[in-house]
A and B are shown apart, each in its own frame.
Chain A
């Protein structure tokens, strides 16, 4: 079930448009940050779901949503929103399935972003 684009190229173009001549590659920095932050957030989500800590699920999913939104990972961001809502409602049924979708989309997004960097 797709929830949108793996990577919305427009979002990356926005970042490229901000690039200042001579400055460090902004898109690359943003993608590296995404890789670092998302790896930690995935672990936090897994841990929070396992411990059934709804508030932690909500907080980690919210941040994951925001971090993935920054690189245009729309499908990933949408799944994170779904999980965030589960956490907010305090009902974690089905959250493992959503987590699985998040993992899949995260893999796809990471691969697409790596390709972007090689462009």
Chain B
């Protein structure tokens, strides 16, 4: 379903020259996985399983070493064991979510089947997903690929390039002024691109919750958006969500933005989508309607002028003469 959204966005004609040069072009397309586990044989197996499947692997034998590697290795996914000596998975996760890259990457916890409480704690602390030990090696890469796919932001990062060999989807989205976001109702955690934050007039904060995002919506639209979200959570609404609303602008006219999102099914149900500024579009549409009205009037007046016999609209003729 998300693929649909992406296809629409890819369709946007992107002027290659105008691409934002700040985006590194040498970013490897291979997903990067940091495996944090004190068990050497598990690390070896992860490397052997994921390496040939196209993942770049880095290993850490404990939480402390894992944290050291987050900002330098910049993994897309951290595969994090829960029970480790010294610094356990929970402490590592908590600390990791306070880091810059660590606050954005996926964290898949590795846990024993016997401990459902640990999974709950991990998800509350901001883990993305979990796998149980002993790890099913045949399924691991599919699970991680799923984690990557299920996030629109990651979809952007690992995007297929357009057929013309042009710039990445991320650039296209950026140029199109489209922001991406993802919301986990369970943790109320919102993962958002810079564009999303900009459109809502938000600063990057950790963690960003829906309460902060909703507070930026114009008062008269806020309840409508909240209701739509509630409806979506309760399952009474559609699978996808599309809603336009006004946003308070800092020191400028209010913006009108449109949000489109679709359900993503991870361990918990989430919502992922895009946000775009449609103020100009709305403005253009209004002008277009005005123009259409003028054109209709002129057409009528011209007809009246060319065929005065039919003229029973004296004021209009007068108006034409005035012009």
Chain B residues with Cβ below 8 Å from A119 are none
Which residues of A lie under 8 Å from residue B49 when comparing CB positions? 18
User: Cβ of A59 and Cβ of B83 under 8 Å apart?
Assistant: yes
Cβ of B85 under 8 Å from chain A? yes
Interface residues of A in 2-42 (CB under 8 A from B): 11, 14-15, 17-18, 20, 23, 26, 29-30, 33-34, 37
Q: Given B38, B52, B85, B134, which contacts A70 in the complex, CB threshold below 8 Å?
A: B134
CA distance A62 to B137 in the complex (A): 20
Contacting pair B134 A17 (CB below 8 A) = no
- Total contacts A to B, CB within 8 angstroms? 54
A26 touches B39 (CB 8 A): no
B142 to chain A, nearest CB (A): 14
Contact B112 A70 (CB under 8 A): no
| Distance in Å: Cβ of A67 to nearest Cβ of chain B | 6
Chain A residues closer than 8 Å to B45, beta-carbon distance:
15, 18, 30, 70
Is B317 part of the contact surface with A, judged by Cβ < 8 Å?
Answer: no
Known contacts A33-B40, A67-B39, A70-B39; A59 and B134 CB within 8 A of each other: no
B41 at the binding interface (Cβ < 8 Å): yes
- Which one of A18, A66, A71 has the highest number of Cβ atoms from chain B below 10 Å of its Cβ? A66
A15-B83 CB under 8 A given contacts A30-B45, A63-B39, A66-B39: no
A71–B48 alpha-carbon span in the complex (Å): 15
Chain B residues within 8 Å of A30, by CB: 41, 44-45
Query: Do B52 and A11 touch (CB < 8 A)?
Result: no
B42 touches A (CB below 8 Å): yes
Q: Is A92 an interface residue (CB 8 A)?
A: no
What CA separation (Å) do A33 and B309 show in the bound complex? 102
**B133 proximal to A (CB < 8 A):** yes
Within A41-93, which residues are at the interface with B (CB < 8 Å)? 59, 62-63, 65-67, 69-71, 77, 81
Are A15 and B40 also in contact (CB < 8 A) when A59-B83, A62-B83, A70-B45 are?
Answer: no
Shortest Cβ distance from B136 into A: residue: A14
Collect the chain B residues with CB atoms within 8 Å of residue A67's CB.
Answer: 39, 41
Interface residues of B (CB under 8 A from A): 38-42, 44-45, 48-49, 52, 83, 85, 112, 114, 133-134, 136-138
List 14 extra interface pairs beyond A18-B48, A66-B42, CB under 8 A: A18-B137, A23-B48, A26-B44, A33-B40, A33-B44, A37-B40, A37-B41, A59-B83, A62-B112, A67-B39, A70-B42, A70-B45, A70-B134, A81-B114
